[in-house]
Amino acid sequence: MIDIKLIRENPELVKENIKKKFQDHKLVLVDEVIELDKKNREAKLNGDNLRAERKKMSEQVGQLMKSGLKDEAEKIRQEVQKLNDALKENEDLEEKYSEEIKTRMMKIPNIMDASVPIGKDDSENVEVERFGEPTVPSYEIPYHADILERFNGLDKESAGRTSGVGFYYLIGDIARLHEAMLAFARDYMIDNGFTYCIPPFMIRSDVVTGVMSFEEMDAMMYKIEGEDLFLIGTSEHSMIGRFKNQIIKKEDLPITMTSYSPCFRKEIGSHGLEERGLYRVHQFEKQEMIVLCEPEDSMNWYNKMKNLSIELFRKFNVPVRQLDCCSGDLADLKVKSCDIEAWSPRQQKYFEVCSCSTLGDAQARRLGIRAKGEKGNYFLHTLNNTVVATPRGLIAVIENNYNEDGSITVPEVLRPYMGGKEKLIPVK
C-alpha cells in the first residue's frame, strides 16, 4: 500500500505507474481515493469543530451549575446532547470514508523501481546474466519422476490415496538428499550472517492481507475452516508478520533472518506433463531469507540477496540465470523482483527456482512496522528471497548431476549431510 500523500500530491505519477503495469481498470481508483480523501478530511474537520463546541458548552454547563442556574444549565446540556448525536453520526461517516479509502488503496499497485522493464506478462521478462555453462550431455536424461522411481525415491500413488493429487512421498536416499539441501541452505545462510528461525505455519487473516494482495491470497492460500487461520504459502508471510505493529530500534537494523518451513499452495490450474512429477505440488519445503532495513539500504540488500541464491545453486553444480520481472509480471506490492532460474538439461531450458523481491514500505505500511528516527517514526523496507525450495531445487540438482549409468553425483557441499556419500546408486 502506497502513501496516500503521494496520491494527493502526485496522482499522475500513480496513474502512470498503473498504466505501465497494464492495469488501466484501476485508474478510476486514484480519482475515487482523491474524492473520498477530500470528504474524509472535511468530516474530520467537522468533527474537530463539533468537539471544540461541545467542550465549550460543557464548560458553560459547569459554570451555570456553580451559579445555581440549573434551568439554563439544563437547556445547554440538551444542546450538548444534540452535539453528541451529531458527533456520533460524523464519526460513523469518518469510519465509512476511511474504510472505503483503505479498500481502494489496497488495490493500487506499489510504485515500481525505474529499472523494472516494461512488459505485459512473464513472456517479456528480461534475462540479465547467466552463471555457469548450460550443457546438454550426450546421453539421455529421463524425466525427473522416472529418475526418482529408479531409486525407489518417489511415491505419488500412495500420496494420492492418503492426500490426493499434488502430494507425494520422498523415500530413502532421495529424501535424504532433499533434506541435505535444506540443511546446507540453512547453514549457508547462517554463515552469511542471517539468524535462523522456524516460524508458525499458520497465520491470521490480518497478517495475510498485510503481506500480499487479495488476488494472490485467493489463488494461493488454504483457509482453515471455522477459524481465522491460513496455512502459509511461504515462511516470508509469518516472518514479516512477526514485526506487526512494532517499532524497531534503529540500532537493531538491519534485521536479517533465514527461516525454514513447509509451504502450502493451491496451485490452481496446474496440469500437463510437467505436473506429473514434482514441479507443481500443494506442499513443499523451503529455506527463505527476509530483511527489514532502512529505506536507503533496500536496493543494496536486494542485490546481496539474489547473489546469495546464485552462489548457492552454483555450489550445487547447477547453472542458473537471472531474469528481471517486467512490469506486467510484477505483483502489486513489489517495487522490483527477479527470478533465479535453474538450467534443465533434459528440457534444454531454464525454470524458476528462486524469486527475490523488494517491496519498499508496502508491507510495513500495511502491518505498521516502523522505526523510530530523529524526526519521528517511519516505515521500514522489507525484502524476501528464496534460498532453496524443494522439490524444484531437488529436480535441478538431480538433472545437473545425473550420470550416464543412472547414478547421481552428490554435490561436494552436500556430502557431509549425506553421511559422506559421493554418489547415489539406483536400485532399479
| From-to residues of CATH 1.10.287.40 in the chain | 4-105
Q: For cell 552462489, what's the residue? A: 311
The single-letter code of the amino acid at 159 is A
| Three cell numbers written together for 295 | 529505506
Would you tell me which CATH number, out of the four given (3.40.50.720, 3.40.50.20, 3.30.930.10, 2.40.50.100), belongs to the domain 122-424?
A: 3.30.930.10
The predicted structure's pLDDT at residue 274: 47
Task: Look up residue 348 and give its DSSP letter.
Answer: T
| From-to residues of CATH 3.30.930.10 in the chain | 122-424
Closest CA to 177 of 387, 342, 388: 388
Let me know if domain 4-105 sits in CATH 1.10.287.40. Answer: yes
pLDDT in tens, the chain (428 residues): 899 999 999 999 999 999 999 999 999 999 999 999 999 999 999 999 999 988 888 888 888 888 888 888 888 888 888 899 999 999 999 999 999 999 999 999 999 999 999 999 999 999 999 999 999 999 999 999 999 999 999 999 999 899 988 899 999 999 999 999 999 999 999 999 999 999 999 999 999 988 887 677 777 889 999 999 999 999 999 999 999 999 999 999 999 999 999 999 987 555 443 456 888 889 999 999 999 999 999 999 999 999 999 999 999 999 999 999 999 999 999 999 999 999 999 999 999 999 999 999 999 999 999 999 888 899 999 999 999 998 899 999 999 999 999 999 999 999 999 999 999 999 98
Strands (E), 325-375: 336-344, 349-358, 370-373
CB atoms within 10 A of CB 317: 17
The predicted structure's pLDDT at residue 374: 83
CA pair distance 105, 32, nearest whole angstrom? 10
The single-letter code of the amino acid at 51 is R
Task: Look up residue 10 and give its DSSP letter.
Answer: -
CA angle 60, 62, 68 (to 5 degrees): 105
CB distance 333 to 384 below 8 Å: no
Order the strands of the 376-379 sheet from edge to edge.
247-248, 370-373, 376-379
CA pair distance 9, 118, nearest whole angstrom? 25
Closest CA to 310 of 250, 260, 258, 354: 354
The predicted structure's pLDDT at residue 304: 98
CA pair distance 110, 332, nearest whole angstrom? 6
CA pair distance 102, 96, nearest whole angstrom? 10
List 169's β-bridge partners, or say none. Answer: 155
Give the torsion sign (CA, 107, 259, 192, 175). negative
CB distance 254 to 297 below 8 Å: yes
The predicted structure's pLDDT at residue 212: 84
CB distance 359 to 293 below 8 Å: no
| Three cell numbers written together for 97 | 470514508
The predicted structure's pLDDT at residue 256: 98
CB atoms within 10 A of CB 409: 15
The predicted structure's pLDDT at residue 275: 56
